[in-house]
Amino acid sequence: MEDILWARGLRRHYGTGRALVRAVDDVDLAVAPGETVGVVGASGCGKSTLLHLLGGLDRPDAGEVWLGGRRVDGLSETAAARLRRREIGFVFQSFHLVDELSAAENVELPALLAGESRRAARRRAAGLLERMGLGGRARHLPAELSGGQRQRVAVARALVNDPRLLLADEPTGNLDSAAATDVLRLFAALRAEGRTLVIVTHDSRVAGTADRLITMRDGAFADETVLGARPPGAGGLGAGGLGALSGLEA
């Protein structure tokens, strides 16, 4: 099976001399379709920088990043933005929702930017929010939602363009225990649906949902543990995808 994400010799350094920080230092990584990879390690070890390099939010000083058989680390800013809109979904610790837009409008936005019609974007957003257990909150602004609800909106937004790859950076970092449990169930459901995920986390419960767990130290991979095989099931999310989430606490 061909890897969906592949990186070799990935390096990102900041500063010079005694102030040199080796944020990512000659990292090699391959992620298979449908695999969930967790990345853990102490704060400052390079986890988030690695995720930004893999998702094209930052450029490496050296090395290569390939997504779906296409090299992406040397793309122009315009081409990289187009790739991110269509091929990669991002979930951040701080949600990064637009405060002035409703939950539905936040989810619709990436689809509109990718060229979808407003009607198609609205229909797709409504379906995702419904399956996230947020159908009744679609018109609410982010400030009117709990932390767990905002994170579920952020995940719906990340999925609206049906990306090949979902990248999550500390998705439970700003959530209380109950909300984190909801998000934990969400990522377990995405894994069961065959989504390809790379998740940076400090949360041992989130890490425990991965097929493979990588520990980073000082910008490099220090250890790798295989936790289990990918569950059987279909590939992308179909009409019934995420159905298990409909019972999430609203």
Please tell me the predicted confidence (pLDDT) of residue 238. Answer: 38
For 73-127, how does the pLDDT look when each residue is reduced to its tens digit (9 = 90+)?
989 999 999 899 889 999 998 899 999 999 999 999 999 999 999 999 999 999 9
What DSSP line would sit under 33-81, residue for residue?
A: TT-EEEEE-STTSSHHHHHHHHTTSS--SEEEEEETTEE-TT--HHHHH
Segment-wise mean pLDDT, segments of 10 residues, the chain, 250 residues? 90 88 93 94 92 93 94 91 91 92 96 94 95 93 94 93 93 87 84 90 86 94 81 38 49
The domain 5-97+160-239 having CATH identifier 3.40.50.2300: the answer here is no
To the nearest whole number, what is the mean pLDDT of the chain?
A: 87
For 234-248, how does the pLDDT look when each residue is reduced to its tens digit (9 = 90+)?
333 333 344 444 455
Please tell me the predicted confidence (pLDDT) of residue 235. Answer: 37
